Structure 1
Amino acid sequence: MANEAASLSRFAAVGAGRMGRGIAIAFAYAGHRISLIDLRPRGDEAWQRLRDEAKAEIEASLSGLAQLGVIDASQVGPIAARVELVDAAAAPRALAAAELVFEGVPETMEAKREAFEHINRHCRDDAILTSTTSSILVTQLASLVRLPERFLNMHWLNPAYVIPVVELSCHPGTDAAVLARTKALMEEIGKLPVVCGASPGYIVPRLQALVMNEAARMIEEGAATAEEIDKATRYGLGLRFAALGVVEFIDFGGCDILHHASREMSASLDAGRYTAPAIVGKMVEQGRLGLKSGSGFYDYEGRDVAAYRRDVLSRTLGELRHAGLWRAPADRTLS
């Protein structure tokens, strides 16, 4: 019995769809076994069809990494084999063994309630329970969970096995030790957990929705073509924000720059979209302009500013080199 328990997966993804498969790959890639659980009772033929589809997608995703030289082709099979596909009948056993569970069923409260009824019934008391929901607040879901202090939302970015950031959203009752343990487990598989409050859109979706809507609006208005917008975002906006975080970028350029730019665009384009939040005006009034004033969203007191600027330049040059856009200086003799 002890050997049987040791052979079971420490991790479980409930919901065998796209997100569950991506999470399973992330753990399998990091060397862990994980149960990919389908809670819906199915006939033998339907289960075999889902099982084959999930297995094929997992192997295809890993083969894609092999084709790009990330892993050797010989590793595809062993990594894929770490994902155990579990049907409804075997779900109780897999859930009972898991120390970290990801709920990833369809985005309805009915589906979530049904899934957590199973999870509550079979998971042990010290298991961390998470939902991968992109649209339902952690405060709404906490009431569905037995022992809600061990519950939080965990939003993965697609493809889940590639993008390092996972967004952790806690409710007021989430135990601090549970959050710390969750972060440690995610860091163990190479992820970068970021923590946010119980607010719609997490961090990344909230920011990217504004950018994507504005890009579509510019096409609608005839301001620029899709091709030109994508070139500008890949090698301008995106490249800069890959080198500096958004808030770091505000401080680096100066909060007053954002303040004035927002004022001009709110007057010429749309006040609803471009009026700066009150915090920006308050910081300008207080002289907290960022790097140039010694404080902004970050505190720069005691920092070697020259070294910091070199670091930012180094990061930016690194992104340029990666994009293949950095050129050596021209060596021309004046004639």
Structure 2
Amino acid sequence: MTTQERAIIAAVGAGRMGRGVAIVFAYAGHPVRLIDVKHSRPTEDFDRLSKEAGTEIRATLQMLVDLGLAPEGSVETIASRITIVDREWAGGALADAAVIFEGVPETLEAKRDAFDLIGKAAPADAIVGSTTSTILTDELQAMISHPERFLNAHWLNPAYLVPLVELSPGEKTDPAVVDRLKGLLEGIGKVPVVCKASPGYIVPRIQALAMNEAARLVEEGVATPEDIDKATKYGFGFRFAVLGLLEFIDWGGGDILFYASRYMKDAMQDDRFAAPKIVEDNMAAGRIGLSARAGFLDYSDMDIDAYRKGRLAGFVDMLTLLGATRPPVL
């Protein structure tokens, strides 16, 4: 399929997120319109932004070449698929866009202005996704015409490297729109997940707790920042790069989490360490993970030995990546 035959992508907002999304789709062969939406700016200001954005995009692509993710000599080919557009010409740039990602600053005023622009110029069937990391889908959905084609599409920085995209449909989102966007993202090598409109989505909600707890460890003098980071890199991060959090609960046993949570809650005198009801319910029902062939995940038809070996092979890969493998002493 040629670039001309691929869906046209528009990124409304020419800041860091818009540039990252533009790189992702241009890398995958799509024509991209990167639209600056600032009002009434002198021509020389737009020329400056356009030059700056183009320079940053090419520098990022060159970095991908240097890292072995793109072939030598591909920077200009990929960058040429991105057209940087001033607000004055946004109507034409949006008129034939199949998918539009809004990436303006995190204020309702800025969002409303961007959606007004999109609503006036974009096709009625164009998928519109907001990259917001803070504002819930249903609140934004009310701002856009044809709300059934709207959902949040939360990318994690840097968008051109992190595979995950969290999709959060609203009450009025057409399920077919979610499926279409999932298919598009999977087709360019991304890993989309779907979640309800909830503060923090999935990753930001989990990482907020982890980051705050790491900061508390420093505050309490438990360990140095250097050792805390070493512990998260070689322990926490090492394991969860191979096993998902819920998979890890099942791997070790939900009963371990149940008792550990009870001890931590009492020892720290803090309810933030208490297990949620679902952990208690699983414990009561005997759904404690691999050993019971049921936990958060279903292992009833799985070859457990082959599964364990596969995950251990993943750990070995991580050891190699971290340069932490050692030959045996014979």
Task: State the TM-score bracket (shorter-chain normalisation).
Answer: over 0.9
Deviation at 1:71, TM superposition (A): 2.2
Deviation at 1:39, TM superposition (A): 1.6
On the 8 A contact 1:266/1:273 being kept in 2, the answer is yes
On the 8 A contact 1:8/1:94 being kept in 2, the answer is no
Amino acid at match of 2:114: A
On the 8 A contact 2:6/2:29 being kept in 1, the answer is no
Amino acid at match of 1:193: P
Are residue 45 (structure 1) and residue 50 (structure 2) matched?
Answer: no
Amino acid at match of 1:101: I
Q: Which of 11, 19, 22 lines up with 1:13 in the alignment?
A: 11
Deviation at 1:107, TM superposition (A): 0.3
State the percentage of identical aligned residues. 54
In terms of mean alpha carbon deviation, does 19-28 or 293-302 score higher?
293-302
Other structure's SS at 1:144 match: coil
Deviation at 1:9, TM superposition (A): 6.9
1:61-109 Cα distance to aligned partner (Å, 9 max, x none): 1122222232234111211111100101110011111000000001011
Structure 2 counterpart of 1:83? 82
Give TM-score scaled by structure 2 length: 0.96
Q: Distance in 2 between matches of 1:93 and 1:190?
A: 29
Moved over 4 A (4+): 6-9
Q: Distance in 2 between matches of 1:283 and 1:132?
A: 35
Q: Which of 30, 33, 43 lines up with 1:32 in the alignment?
A: 30
Structure 1 counterpart of 2:207? 208
Other structure's SS at 1:303 match: coil
Give TM-score scaled by structure 1 length: 0.95
On the 8 A contact 2:32/2:83 being kept in 1, the answer is yes
Deviation at 1:330, TM superposition (A): 1.1
Other structure's SS at 2:216 match: helix
Deviation at 1:190, TM superposition (A): 1.0
Deviation at 1:302, TM superposition (A): 2.2
Other structure's SS at 2:206 match: helix
On the 8 A contact 2:6/2:30 being kept in 1, the answer is no
Amino acid at match of 2:321: H
**In the superposition, relative to structure 1, how do residues 145 and 294 fare at CA in structure 2: closer, same or farther (>3 Å)?**
same
On the 8 A contact 2:250/2:290 being kept in 1, the answer is yes
Deviation at 1:191, TM superposition (A): 0.6
Deviation at 1:316, TM superposition (A): 1.2
Are residue 143 (structure 1) and residue 119 (structure 2) matched?
Answer: no
Structure 2: any 5+ residue segments left out of the alignment?
none
On the 8 A contact 2:7/2:99 being kept in 1, the answer is no
Other structure's SS at 1:89 match: helix
Amino acid at match of 2:304: V
Structure 1: any 5+ residue segments left out of the alignment?
1-5
Q: Distance in 1 between matches of 2:121 and 2:7?
A: 14
Structure 2 counterpart of 1:94? 93
In terms of mean alpha carbon deviation, does 59-68 or 134-143 score higher?
59-68
1:96-126 Cα distance to aligned partner (Å, 9 max, x none): 1100000000101111111101101111111
Q: Distance in 1 between matches of 2:72 and 2:305?
A: 46
Deviation at 1:271, TM superposition (A): 2.1
Amino acid at match of 1:139: D
Deviation at 1:227, TM superposition (A): 0.9
Are residue 161 (structure 1) and residue 141 (structure 2) matched?
Answer: no
Deviation at 1:8, TM superposition (A): 10
Amino acid at match of 1:24: A
1:11-38 Cα distance to aligned partner (Å, 9 max, x none): 0000000000000000111111100001
Amino acid at match of 2:93: A
Structure 2 counterpart of 1:3? none
Q: Distance in 2 between matches of 1:132 and 1:170?
A: 12
Deviation at 1:7, TM superposition (A): 9.0
1:194-232 Cα distance to aligned partner (Å, 9 max, x none): 111100001111111111111111011110111111111
Deviation at 1:272, TM superposition (A): 2.6
Aligned length: 326
**In the superposition, relative to structure 1, how do residues 284 and 269 fare at CA in structure 2: closer, same or farther (>3 Å)?**
same
On the 8 A contact 1:8/1:97 being kept in 2, the answer is no
Other structure's SS at 1:74 match: coil
5 Å matches for 1:99-118? 99-118=98-117
Other structure's SS at 2:124 match: coil
RMSD: 1.4
Structure 2 counterpart of 1:272? 271
